[in-house]
Chain A
């Protein structure tokens, strides 16, 4: 089985690294493409032994499972470009936040009657094989196609199937989640440094504490509240610290964060549907290159880009 990545950024790199480290896929069975060869991840992919090309079409041709690993606003351009090369055998896996299966199927159906589409939301720790991935299968994707993806993604962490309407929430929680954790770890390390620890040690210990706690939770039947209680000796250090966290509204901040990320994801999809993505959201070099390869694409105005061709204009 060969795997292709349209896009050669952080996500493609993380997945490629994870798959090869897990041994489910040899590097030479992976192809990644991007018009931008200056990305730092590009050299990383090359060093891994992944086939790198500037031609998205080449990636499609040499892949069975095709990951769309570009930013959400770029997806329509990509689909327009590679649509003609999509065959019935391809499994198109979109990792783009907020981009719905139906929008992808609609775009591809102008080229291929029954495109197999799977929508997936993963996260960067796939790079160390501790990713959190969910997926939802599209209209023409079979159970086996889903299982195939699940096998791939399970090699780099946790993977489970969900209903598509949950994916935005997953984005808010585990998609963005590592960023919340990095922020927390940075701050924890600051706390350690304030109380006298050298920075490197503080970072190491903070990370290990979170890693250990997460592992305990995953391996325990107990509720996190119970696990928290188990750490809190009466009148001890920990309960004093927790009181501070509560006073600062720690819990509500986290709830707010997950909610904000989820809502923003939906907002972006909504904006995309309404064809209101600004040009600034798309790098100019990318746009030029895409336009070169897809003459049928029209640019509606200087400030707005029509993300769909005149053929498939919305009513």
Chain B
């Protein structure tokens, strides 16, 4: 299926959906006029119209007029929405759920048996096309659907297919992980402020430091431990600072955080 002929629908038009559509549009994957989004109120839909997308308050309309349907509602709303759209879902549809904690099993149970279902977990920086996304396919989704999704969403960042069991881990690592980075950036800046640098400047530099370090990691493909060693002049400032981080057991704390978020994602999925 050519992406240009694709009719893409979004049930739910919140921040995550907005991030994805921006990525798709910016990369020219889909013309805005081919995008239709639904939401209960106009609150979110204004932004979509500004992008050139069509909007509606009717979920069924989205399903009728789209081939690729993204489900982007809040988790507690989804079962009701699925019941509503189920009659209109056919074997030509590709249904991709962004809904946290809702398993493929649940999705397939609430949709017609032959539906092609995929589940994706994005993260916030999709909004700036620097996201990290993983997706898994349901029983009826094949290589073609997987390739289509990958093609479209790589416009928003890193997009990889994984076994469904990795999705909760991705939440802990990268979905929530973005918040850990914000926390770290804030703390870095605060340290600088303590040492006498103005806050705004410190924040900008902190962000650029994280960006630059991440870019080096991604582009050199080197092990982070090696890159860390490269920065550490013997007896220099960096190794002194790292010692402080190790004393604070930063590594273990971060591992604890990823574990906690992952476990919480698992628990929430069971509810």
A interface list, Cβ under 8 A from B:
222-226, 229, 243, 246-249, 251-252, 255-256, 259
Tell yes or no: B4 within 8 A of A by CB: no
Q: Is A223's CB under 8 angstroms from B255's CB?
A: no
Selected A-B contacts with CB under 8 Å, 8 pairs: A224-B225, A225-B225, A226-B226, A246-B251, A248-B252, A249-B247, A255-B246, A256-B247
Whether the Cβ atoms of A251 and B225 lie closer than 8 Å is no
B226 and A225: CB pair below 8 A?
yes
CB distance from A54 to the nearest CB of B (A): 43
Q: What are the residues of chain B within 8 A of A246 when measuring CB–CB? A: 249, 251-252, 255
| B255 adjacent to A255 (CB under 8 Å) | no
Query: How many of chain B's residues have a CB under 8 angstroms from any CB in A?
Result: 15
Interface of B is mostly: helix
CA distance A239 to B232 in the complex (A): 26
CA distance A251 to B224 in the complex (A): 16
**Are A223 and B229 within 8 A (Cβ)?**
yes
- Determine the distance from Cα of A226 to Cα of B251 in the docked complex, in whole angstroms: 16
Does B109 count as interface, using CB distance less than 8 angstroms?
Answer: no
Residues of A within 8 A of B247 (CB): 249, 252, 256
A225-B224, A243-B256 are known contacts; what are 10 more A-B pairs with Cβ within 8 Å?
A246-B255, A247-B252, A247-B256, A248-B252, A249-B247, A249-B249, A252-B247, A255-B243, A255-B246, A259-B243
Interface of B with A (CB < 8 Å)? 223-226, 229, 243, 246-249, 251-252, 255-256, 259
Closest to B251 in A: A246
- Contact indicator A226/B223 (Cβ below 8 Å): yes
**A275 CA to B25 CA in the complex, in Å?**
78
- In the complex, what residues of A have CB within 8 A of residue B259's CB? 243
Residues in A with CB closer than 8 Å to B243 are 252, 255, 259
> Which B residues are in CB contact (< 8 Å) with A255?
243, 246
B58–chain A nearest beta-carbon distance, Å: 44
- Please indicate the chain B residues that have their CB under 8 angstroms from the CB of A249 in the complex: 246-247, 249, 252
Among all A-B residue pairs, the 8 with the closest Cβ atoms: A225-B225, A246-B252, A252-B246, A247-B252, A252-B247, A223-B226, A246-B251, A251-B246
| Residues of A close to B251: CB separation below 8 A | 246, 251
Given contacts A252-B243, A255-B243, is CB(A247)–CB(B226) below 8 Å?
no
Q: Are A225 and B223 in contact (CB under 8 A)?
A: yes
Residues of chain A contacted by B229 (CB below 8 angstroms): 223
Q: Which single residue of chain A is at the shortest CB-CB distance from B227?
A: A223
Query: In the complex, what residues of B have CB within 8 A of residue A222's CB?
Result: 223
Q: Nearest Cβ distance between residue B151 and chain A, in whole angstroms?
A: 27
Do B252 and A226 touch across chains, with their CB atoms under 8 A apart? no
How far, in Å, is B165 (CB) from chain A's closest CB?
9
CB-defined contacts of B249 to chain A, threshold 8 Å:
246-249, 252
Q: How many angstroms from the CA of A174 to the CA of B137 in the assembled complex?
A: 53
